[in-house]
Amino acid sequence: MQNMSLEQIAGATGGTYHGAPELKPLEINGVAIDSRKIEEGYLFVPIKGVRVDGHDFIPQVMQAGALCTLTEHELPDALYPYIIVASCEQALKDLARYYRNSLDIKVIGITGSVGKTSTKEMIASILAQKYKVLKTEGNYNNEIGLPLTIFNIRSEHEIAILEMGIDHFGEMHRLADVAQPDISVITNIGMAHMENLGSREGILKAKTEMFDHLKLNASIVLNGDDDMLTTVSDIHGIKPAFFGLSESCDIYASNIRNQGLCGTGCNIHFPDGELMVTIPIPGEHMVYNALAGACIGQLLGLDYAQIKMGIESLTPVSGRNNIIQTDDLVIIDDCYNANPVSMKASLDVLTSGRHRKVAVMGDMFELGADERILHYEIGQYAAEKGIDLICCIGDLAYEAYQGAKQHTDGDTAVSYFLTKEDFIANLQGIIRKNDTVLVKASNGMKFTELVEKLKLFKINK
């Protein structure tokens, strides 16, 4: 943190300062909403959760060295400075917006139905070849996490890459109002969060709310192969830059070369040249991530050598197409989240396995009224891809089991388990030495537990 005094905080949040007047000019060292993460000189923002109210921890954090706390009610016995605000959650966003606007830094906002995190990682890898980059970590992409990410921006950072996840209308308005992006990236318009957003048209409307809060002279980068995004034209006088596999895109790829689980090669075409690259993570969908990154790299002045180095030095994130080699197995850990588009992409990657291919698939959440049909279609897709063994786990995944069973050509084995525990109890009878095993489901299924079991799993001789 830098340049954030208690007086400025009160002004930015519309709050009322209580405490010694001589402390008003003091600057905080950071912001925390978790009492366990308080450090000397921090501002504490107590958030009311479902089970816990952060206000209960105010005495504890002040004793631990916090400089000041926000609060939604008076603290009559307080011997420390505090600022009363109407809503601590809103104050967190107001303060983050104030801090973001005080910084001389380029902000890239990334959203989309699929691929936000993997695209963010690709862009960060590319831009790190020239700039000091801060990026969203973990799932800090919502109305609480985004402000906390912004508060992590330090004086040395030149670029901030902010992932922005939503599942309701109006949410992107609030996120973008805080982030104020200089560059807006949308990866695609899929079927995630159909339960709340109703249709792909609704998802497009919700995602493009970001455009209402762009900085002056901003840029927009869109997937030119997405039928919904290609309907976006002039936005506040800004002409979007499109990336994709079509030659009509501003930056496009050709000569895509499947190199199995070792990655994917392709040629990237720019308006003024061409670049041959190898993406070290498998899957054709990674080509789109590389194209988005190349587009932004060119916008921000990187040369071809820097873009190539950034793409080829990309490292996978746990839970996202992460290839794990054990003594007995190859595990494709892609269990952070799932929807029909990403599930199909992961099954495509699995087909590159050298030996027996096993798909361990769980429930996909927030798909709306068609959720059971969409699960059935995923099972059908897996069977038609020739996966050797399909294991479906969970209530909704029963539909995937039915879809796979009814479309197998006889060479594909299909199994169903109601719970992860049922699957784990039968591992010795399911998994064989040298199998390539894909693990994929929505995050709420907690399939990371399966990945950890498989990493330690030893085949009985």
* pLDDT reported for residue 194: 63
Q: How many CB atoms lie within 10 A of CB 90?
A: 14
* pLDDT reported for residue 409: 81
**Please, are residues 127 and 297 in contact by the beta-carbon 8 Å criterion?**
yes
Q: Give the model confidence (pLDDT) of 139-168 as tens digits.
A: 889 999 999 999 999 999 999 999 998 888
Domain-by-domain residue ranges, the chain? 6-88, 103-312, 322-456
Could you tell me which residues come within 8 angstroms of residue 119 by beta carbon, excluding any fewer than 6 positions away?
Answer: 110, 112, 185, 187, 288, 289, 292, 293
Could you tell me which residues come within 8 angstroms of residue 326 by beta carbon, excluding any fewer than 6 positions away?
Answer: 454, 455, 457
Q: Give the model confidence (pLDDT) of 359-410 as tens digits.
A: 999 999 988 888 999 999 999 999 999 999 999 999 999 999 999 999 988 7
**Please, are residues 362 and 442 in contact by the beta-carbon 8 Å criterion?**
yes
Q: How confident is the model at residue 10 (pLDDT cuts 50, 70, 90)?
A: very high
Q: What CA–CA distances, in Å, run from 109 to 123, 129, 325?
A: 11, 19, 34
Chain-centre distance for alpha carbon 201: 21
Q: Distance between the two ends of the chain, CA-based, in angstroms?
A: 56
**Please, are residues 214 and 238 in contact by the beta-carbon 8 Å criterion?**
yes
Mean pLDDT of 165-177: 91
Q: Give the model confidence (pLDDT) of 80-97 as tens digits.
A: 999 999 999 999 999 999
* pLDDT reported for residue 410: 78
Tokens matching residue 214: 């762009």
Q: Give the model confidence (pLDDT) of 299-338 as tens digits.
A: 999 999 999 999 999 988 777 778 999 999 999 998 888 8
* Measured distance CA(368)–CA(210) in Å, rounded: 24
**Please, are residues 5 and 68 in contact by the beta-carbon 8 Å criterion?**
no
* pLDDT reported for residue 3: 78
Topology annotation, domain 322-456: Protein-Tyrosine Phosphatase; Chain A (3.90.190)
Highest mean pLDDT among 28-32, 231-235, 312-316: 28-32
The values of phi and psi at residue 250, to 5°, are: -65, -40
Nearest CA to 281 out of 328, 316, 313 is that of 316
199 has a pLDDT exceeding 90: no
- Nearest-10 crossing angle of helices 285-299, 304-312: 140
Percent of the chain with pLDDT over 90: 78
Q: How confident is the model at residue 420 (pLDDT cuts 50, 70, 90)?
A: very high
Q: How confident is the model at residue 187 (pLDDT cuts 50, 70, 90)?
A: very high
* Measured distance CA(408)–CA(228) in Å, rounded: 33
The partner residues of 432 in beta bridges, in order of sequence, read: none
Q: How confident is the model at residue 457 (pLDDT cuts 50, 70, 90)?
A: confident
Mean pLDDT of 352-360: 92
- Tell me yes or no: is domain 6-88 CATH 3.30.1120.10: no
* pLDDT reported for residue 289: 96
* pLDDT reported for residue 284: 85
Nearest CA to 403 out of 435, 371, 426 is that of 371
Token pair 């007995």 is found at 328
Q: Is 332 left (phi over 0), alpha (psi -120 to 50) or beta?
A: beta
Q: What homologous superfamily is domain 103-312 in, according to CATH?
A: Mur-like, catalytic domain (3.40.1190.10)
* pLDDT reported for residue 366: 85
Q: In what order do the strands lie in the sheet with 357-362?
A: 322-325, 330-333, 436-440, 357-362, 389-393, 413-417
* pLDDT reported for residue 295: 97
* pLDDT reported for residue 460: 75
Q: How confident is the model at residue 461 (pLDDT cuts 50, 70, 90)?
A: low
Mean pLDDT of 102-126: 93
* pLDDT reported for residue 183: 98
Which H or E run contains 322?
Answer: strand 322-325
Q: Let me know if the fold of 6-88 is the same as that of 322-456.
A: no
The least confident of 11-15, 50-54, 56-60, 304-308 is: 50-54
* Measured distance CA(146)–CA(169) in Å, rounded: 17
Q: How confident is the model at residue 193 (pLDDT cuts 50, 70, 90)?
A: low
The partner residues of 414 in beta bridges, in order of sequence, read: 390
